[in-house]
A and B are shown apart, each in its own frame.
Chain A
């Protein structure tokens, strides 16, 4: 039985496809948007329209942007010579939230995966190798996930860049606020291997 006009049902169906939303929560969200039409629905529709028209990948690093080259790549304040390699745009945003890294990024668009038949050419690895040569990069920081696929990709990139620049990776170990008792043995052994003098 249809409970709402076709256009609204269509919107609910589309909203239900978003991560974290199901049919019920999408219905609630759409009802809320309709009730707040002036302050939420119209601005949201305008913003989505603008993003749909302009969103694209940065031709240099693969970041999501609305211009050809993203703000980070075109910024004069960013250190040249350092590239931080991340798996996904969400990881780039996480690094930016930390505010520690002042260089530029390279978004791979995934990791090598035998299971999903994702090879080096399916990622932006060849482009990274070209950037290292063209931009005079002295250090590549591999900020890839501490998973088997993430580290397999990190080792592959390190091999590809051998002799071209310094390649470093993020440390692995005890997270801030973490308690040893709750850590898995893989993390504890990684932390022990990466111990430092105090």
Chain B
């Protein structure tokens, strides 16, 4: 007799889709099993539906007859992040994160470091004025984890570690203002926020997101068959740009 597959893990809910009249198919980002989908029986019931909100931290038990089956989850709430619903910008941040993770992560492949960074970032949404800078750093971490990391440690031309002002759109390496020369207008901006420096205001974050957006689109999305980036990220950038202006 074949033994069924099962595991227990903790994860963040990325998306929910109704399945039949009473069930839901959820997608979660777990610590040890990566992005994983499964059915939640009774997932649209009054009791369970409030738990299944994107961004929620869940304790998950997954069971299937064979490993490659969709399988079924039983879920227990660990932490609701529904508190961000009243904060327009934080909600946009949460939507951008869940959409990007769902868009970019390969299925059933563990990324424990990115998972830890993502959970910390989810917890930070709306908690301080500077969370957009942390979000920018999280996008850098996402790119790094998926093989499109930027090297912002030193200038690719001069080797200097200071006066860094640009990023090469091809190599993803930093370029100093002096090293850029006449190529400056063809390079991407490297605001201090991209290096994790808090300057106040959202303008630097928006500039930084334009740079990470370039690599998300031309690197990550290109490798996924040129799928368009999730609309939710564009909405977050739009909100931050409105705040900056």
Contacts and interface: CB of A to CB of B under 8 A. Distances in A.
Contact of A186 (B21, B53, B54, B231): B53
Contacts of B53: 147-148, 186
A184 B95 contact: no
A52 interface: no
B79 A185 contact: yes
Given A114-B232, A155-B88, A148 B21 contact: no
B21 A189 contact: no
B95 A189 contact: no
A146 B53 CA distance: 10
Given A114-B232, A115-B15, A115-B17, A148 B54 contact: yes
Contact of B231 (A114, A155, A158): A114
B88 A186 contact: no
Nearest to A119: B231
Nearest to B81: A186
Interface in A134-148: 146-148
Nearest to B14: A115
Contacts of B232: 114
Given A114-B232, A155-B91, A186-B53, A193 B80 contact: no
Contact of A114 (B81, B82, B230): B230
Q: How large is the interface on B (under 10, 10 to 19, 20 to 34, 35 or more residues)?
A: 20 to 34
A31 interface: no
A19 B55 CA distance: 29
A26 B145 CA distance: 52
Nearest to A22: B21
Contacts of B91: 148, 151-152, 155
A60 interface: no
A20 interface: yes
Nearest to A155: B88
B181 interface: no
Interface in A143-198: 146-148, 151-152, 155-156, 158-159, 172, 184-187, 189-190, 193
A186 B82 contact: yes
Contacts of B85: 146, 148, 151, 172, 186, 190
A186 B55 CA distance: 12
B77 interface: yes
B150 interface: no
A184 B80 contact: yes
A135 B55 CA distance: 38
7 contacts: A114-B99, A114-B230, A114-B231, A119-B231, A147-B53, A148-B91, A193-B86
Interface of A: 19-20, 114-115, 117, 119, 146-148, 151-152, 155-156, 158-159, 172, 184-187, 189-190, 193
Nearest 3 pairs between A and B by C-beta?
A186-B82, A186-B80, A151-B85
